[in-house]
Structure 1
């Protein structure tokens, strides 16, 4: 049974603390060793400086006894010191929690029809303004079904990674009914010409429109340019959905998206 037993009196009383809405910032993880994580930390750092305390639930990292995370928070025995997560309002530190098992459990609950599964994050991360869900599309999709969040997909410059990006777009469209934003990340001293990246993103947009019936937003981000990273961070916040205890997820939008005929042959 989850979240029924308070670890100590303070946590029990904390259940009655008024809660603010929590913004969900989904970011699709990539299986290779590209610059994705480094850029994610930079995005979070920009949001922190703008006054948005951020927590990252890392669906690519497994919780364990020595590295506790979301699974332990969802259980009845959080680790000693877990209550320090409520001290995040100053925005001076970035909380990164292993979350593979916890997100898998929430995804399973969502697939069983528990529409309130994601609301369990609200009291656990009440000290934060936003939570980044960093996970593969297979794990993100059931969590975002019916959500207003627009996930971020990061890819390489030029045609690098565009086929994989399309597959991720397709998975999120078919299984969550959401569209994504695609950001082509150009590393410092990249030999790729800007025109090549623009053409590749335009091709990706046409494919998404033709086969997924979606108008997707794409952008190019120079990893060495602070203005580009701040712009992407603000876009991530603008595309966030929200969780609060008074309102359910936006099923109407998800229902409309899932009702759109999709070409499953591509």
Structure 2
């Protein structure tokens, strides 16, 4: 679905000049069905419209011989045609790679103290301006330890979704030391209850402040409003870290910088 853009908002967003570095945009995946994936695609579409070619590493999708992805890129022999990733598409299409095994391996490397685990993505995806890590908090936490990026947590407007969001906030705070942005997504067919949503988000922010010592940003996004999606896309850019080969993202004291290739034979 194509979305119209308000002129005054487009002018503000276009003032952001795309850079050559690879920006890291972590998004916490959700285990149940909901508008999360559709919202993710809309956010990526807006980012590409701003001039940021996006590649999504989807940890909810498993790599295989028929559907190669990050695991194969990290190995010694990528699939035939993988070099096409060096040329970011300018036709508006979105690059999405299965990444369950690859991100799990990188997370394991980070847990073992491997410096710059995520830096391995930079030469592989250098043609893109932004890489979205769409993964559960258990995988994101070790990868983002020491990162300045702010992961996005999407939830529903109800209280049940807020409880799950708090658990994800807590996991990221305890195991990665990072704070998150929480966006309540209101589906187009949902009955609008702005007051209840605002109260639930305020309760979540208060709990994060009191129990986690974090001041988190919360927002409500109407899935049918292009302006809301555009605003959230801009926040993703503002909260992104940069994968720069000259400045490793992960650099634990005394960590060995020797790179190793994963073995996918077992």
Same fold, TM exceeding 0.5? yes
Which position in structure 2 is the counterpart of 1:96? 96
Please give the secondary structure, in 2, of the residue aligned with 1:206: helix
User: Following superposition of structure 1 onto structure 2, how do residues 64-75 of structure 1 map, counting pairs within 5 Å?
Assistant: 64-75=64-75
Please give the secondary structure, in 1, of the residue aligned with 2:143: helix
- Alpha-carbon contact 2:57-2:70 (below 8 Å) kept: yes
User: Following superposition of structure 1 onto structure 2, how do residues 208-223 of structure 1 map, counting pairs within 5 Å?
Assistant: 208-223=208-223
CA–CA distance in structure 2, aligned partners of residues 100 and 215 of structure 1:
31
Q: What is the CA distance between 1:159 and its match in structure 2?
A: 1.8
Q: What is the CA distance between 1:189 and its match in structure 2?
A: 3.4
Which position in structure 2 is the counterpart of 1:257? none
Which position in structure 2 is the counterpart of 1:190? 190
CA–CA distance in structure 2, aligned partners of residues 113 and 34 of structure 1:
35
Q: What is the CA distance between 1:89 and its match in structure 2?
A: 5.8
Please give the secondary structure, in 1, of the residue aligned with 2:88: helix
CA–CA distance in structure 2, aligned partners of residues 91 and 133 of structure 1:
22
Which position in structure 2 is the counterpart of 1:16? none
Which position in structure 1 is the counterpart of 2:246? 246
Q: Which runs of 4+ in 1 moved over 3 A?
A: none
Please give the secondary structure, in 2, of the residue aligned with 1:183: strand
Which position in structure 1 is the counterpart of 2:224? 224
Cα offsets for 1:25-75 (capped at 9, x unmatched):
000000000010000000000000110000000001110000000000000
- Unaligned segments of structure 2, at least 5 residues: 1-18, 253-266
Q: Does 1:155 align with 2:120?
A: no
CA–CA distance in structure 2, aligned partners of residues 153 and 190 of structure 1:
19
CA–CA distance in structure 1, aligned partners of residues 87 and 228 of structure 2:
30
Q: What is the CA distance between 1:20 and its match in structure 2?
A: 4.0
Which position in structure 1 is the counterpart of 2:85? 85
Which position in structure 2 is the counterpart of 1:138? 138
CA–CA distance in structure 2, aligned partners of residues 243 and 191 of structure 1:
41
CA–CA distance in structure 1, aligned partners of residues 165 and 93 of structure 2:
31
- Alpha-carbon contact 1:158-1:193 (below 8 Å) kept: no
CA–CA distance in structure 2, aligned partners of residues 189 and 77 of structure 1:
46
- Alpha-carbon contact 2:118-2:250 (below 8 Å) kept: no
Task: Indicate the larger mover: 208-217 or 109-118.
Answer: 109-118
CA–CA distance in structure 1, aligned partners of residues 208 and 117 of structure 2:
30
Which position in structure 1 is the counterpart of 2:5? none
TM-score where L is the length of structure 1: 0.85
Cα offsets for 1:226-265 (capped at 9, x unmatched):
010010011011110111111122769xxxxxxxxxxxxx
- Alpha-carbon contact 2:115-2:250 (below 8 Å) kept: no
CA–CA distance in structure 2, aligned partners of residues 119 and 190 of structure 1:
41
Which position in structure 1 is the counterpart of 2:43? 43
- Alpha-carbon contact 2:117-2:250 (below 8 Å) kept: no
Please give the secondary structure, in 2, of the residue aligned with 1:90: coil
Aligned residues: 234
Over the aligned positions, Cα root-mean-square deviation in angstroms equals 1.5
CA–CA distance in structure 1, aligned partners of residues 58 and 216 of structure 2:
25
- Alpha-carbon contact 2:115-2:251 (below 8 Å) kept: no
Please give the secondary structure, in 2, of the residue aligned with 1:88: coil
Which position in structure 1 is the counterpart of 2:261? none
TM-score where L is the length of structure 2: 0.85
